[in-house]
Chain A
Amino acid sequence: MSKVIVVTSGKGGVGKTTTSAAFASGLAAKGHKTAVIDFDVGLRNLDLIMGVERRVVYDFVNVINGEATLKQALIKDKRVDNLYILPASQTRDKDALTTEGVESVVNELKADGFDYIVCDSPAGIEKGAFMALYFADEAIIVTNPEVSSVRDSDRILGILQSRSKTAEEGGSVKEHLLITRYSPDRVEGGDMLGMDDIVEILSVPLIGVIPESDSVLQASNSGNSVVLDKDSHAGQAYMDVVARFLGEDVPLRFIDAQPKKGFFKKLFG
C-alpha cells in the first residue's frame, strides 16, 4: 500500500525542499521504493539539491501533458537505491498542473510499486501548493522557530484539513510537525520560539527537530543529500525523523543548548 506524503509549510525558505530530499533519501536508504516529486513548477530546485540537475530530460509537466512517459521523466538517484526524482518544469508556471494530470501521475507511481511518494510543495497557498497537498495521505509541516513561519504553517494546516481529497471525502490527513533550523542556544537566549511553544500553538504531533547546521548548506550546494553525511547533526536528525515516521521510537536529539566553553577550553580545547 503506497503512501503519498506532502512536505509543505506555507512560508518560503523554511526548508521544504531540503526536507523532501533528506526524507525521501532516508526512506529509500531504509529500503523503501520512494519517488520525490517537485511541485514548484517554474522555480525548480529539488533537482539541484539532489544533484541531478544535469540529468533532467523530461519533467513533471511533460508527463502531465502526455509529452513523455513517467519512466522517461523519473531520474534514478545514483547514490541511493530505490530513490527516484520527478523534476518540475522550469519553463512553465503552476497552471500547467491539473488535478487530473497530477492524479494520473500519482496513480501510475502507485501502480509501479512505489512505497512512498513524497510531494515537495512550493511556498504559498496557491495552485502549486494546493496541487501538492491534494492527494496527500500524510503531511510533514515544516516550520522554523519564528512567529510568521508558525502562522503560515497554521494556515496551510487549515487548507490541508479542508481542501485535500481526503478531507473532501470526510477523512483527515495525518499531520507531522517538523521544526527546522532550530538553534537551542538562541531559544535559550529568548531570540527564537521554543519547540514546546510551537507544538502548543499548532497542536500537531512533533516528528522531529532539525538543528541549524552548516552541513545543510554544504550538502545543498554540493547536491548531496544531508542524510548521507553521517557526521552531521542535521543529517542524523533527519534519519531520526525517517525512523519515527516508520514507527520506531527514537528520542529527540540536538535540542539542548551546548554548555558555554570556558576560557581555558576555548584557549586549549
Chain B
Amino acid sequence: MELKGEMSMLNILHLQDIDMETLQKALQEKRDEAPQFFSQSPVVVDCSEVAEQCDELDFKRLKELILDLGFIPVGVRGISETAPTNLLGAIKDAGFALMRAGHAPSNSTTRGETGDQQGETNNTPDADNSAAAQAQANMSIQSLTIERPVRSGQQVYAANGDMTVLAPTSSGSELVADGSIHVYGALRGRVLAGARGNIDARIFCHSLQAELIAIAGRYQLLDESDTELKGKPAMIRLEGEKLIIEPLN
C-alpha cells in the first residue's frame, strides 16, 4: 500500500451562523441547484467565521445534517489547535477530522496556520449572500480534444473533464479521463473513464476493439467479455459494480 499526502478537490462549507435550522435550509437550497454534482461529494466545514461560538456548536448534529443532504462530511477547519480540549474532543467524537486552515477570509481573524490549501477558489464573492452556508464548487471542467491518433505507448489524461478523440487509438495506448471518453474512430488500447471515481462517466466509441475498459476503477478485459459488439459502435456504462456494454445507435 501507499499513503501519500495529496491535495484533492473538496467543497468548503463556510459557517456564518451556528443555527442548524438556517444552515439546513441554505445548504439544501444549494444542493438542489445541482443534486447530481453534489451527491456524495466531500465537505469540509470552515468554522473560522464563527470561531467565538464554536463551543455551542453541536458537531454531532452538524455531521448528521451534512450526511442527510447527501454530502460526505470530512473534516473541520478554522479551529485553533490550541482550542479548549473539550471542543477538540467534541469534534473528534463527532467523527470529523481536524484540518488546518487554508487562507482565511479577509474579514475574519486570521488564524495562525497557513498553507494546506484545499484547492478551492472563492470566485463567487457571495459573502453578502444572506445564506448561512456556501458550498463552493471548485472544479473547473476542462474538455480535452485530441485530433491525432493516440499511438502505442502514449498515455493521454483528461483531468477534471471529458476526452474526445477524433482519430483511432492503437493497441498499447492508454486513455484516462476523470469524466467520459468519446472516441470517433477505432478504440484499440486501454480506456479508463471516471478515473477519480465518477461512476456516471461513460465510454463511447465508433469501433470497440479495446484491450481493457474501466469506469471508476471497475475494469474488464474485453477478451473476457461475451459482448457481441466487438468492432462495432458501443457505449459502456457502469451499473452497480458491473460494466454494461450497449450498442450505440
Contacts and interface: CB of A to CB of B under 8 A. Distances in A.
B172 A155 contact: yes
Contacts of A203: 149, 167-168, 185
B218 interface: no
Contacts of A40: none
Nearest to B173: A158
Contacts of A161: 148, 151
A232 interface: no
- Please report whether the interface of chain B is mostly helix, strand, loop or mixed according to DSSP: loop
A203 B152 CA distance: 13
A162 B154 contact: yes
A215 interface: no
A172 interface: yes
Contact of B172 (A154, A172, A202): A154
A155 B148 contact: no
- Please report whether the interface of chain A is mostly helix, strand, loop or mixed according to DSSP: helix
A158 B154 contact: yes
A77 B153 CA distance: 39
Interface in A138-175: 151, 154-155, 157-159, 161-162, 172
Contact of A158 (B151, B168, B171): B151
A201 B154 CA distance: 15
Interface residues of B, number: 15
Nearest to A152: B152
Contacts of B180: none
Given A161-B148, A172-B148, A155 B153 contact: yes
B134 interface: no
Contacts of A201: 168, 170
A159 B185 CA distance: 21
A124 to B, nearest CB: 13
Contacts of A159: 153
Interface in A191-215: 200-203
A155 B150 CA distance: 10
Contacts of B186: 200
Contacts of A155: 151-153, 172
A50 B79 CA distance: 79
Interface string A34-60: 000000000000000000000000000
Contacts of A162: 154
Contacts of B151: 154-155, 157-158, 161
A231 B148 CA distance: 40
Nearest to B167: A203
A158 B153 contact: yes
Interface in B144-177: 148-154, 167-168, 170-173
Contacts of B171: 151, 154
A151 B186 CA distance: 15
A139 to B, nearest CB: 13
B148, B150, B151, B154 interface centre (most CB from chain A within 10 Å) = B151
A7 B120 CA distance: 50
Interface in B168-196: 168, 170-173, 185-186
A160 to B, nearest CB: 9
A202 B154 CA distance: 14
A89 to B, nearest CB: 29
Contacts of A157: 149, 151
27 contacts: A151-B152, A151-B170, A151-B172, A154-B152, A154-B153, A154-B170, A154-B171, A154-B172, A155-B151, A155-B152, A155-B153, A157-B149, A157-B151, A158-B151, A158-B152, A158-B153, A158-B154, A158-B170, A158-B173, A161-B148, A161-B151, A162-B154, A201-B168, A202-B149, A203-B149, A203-B168, A203-B185
Interface of B: 148-154, 167-168, 170-173, 185-186
Given A151-B171, A154-B152, A154-B171, 12 more contacts: A151-B170, A151-B172, A154-B170, A155-B152, A155-B153, A157-B149, A157-B151, A158-B153, A158-B170, A161-B148, A162-B154, A203-B149
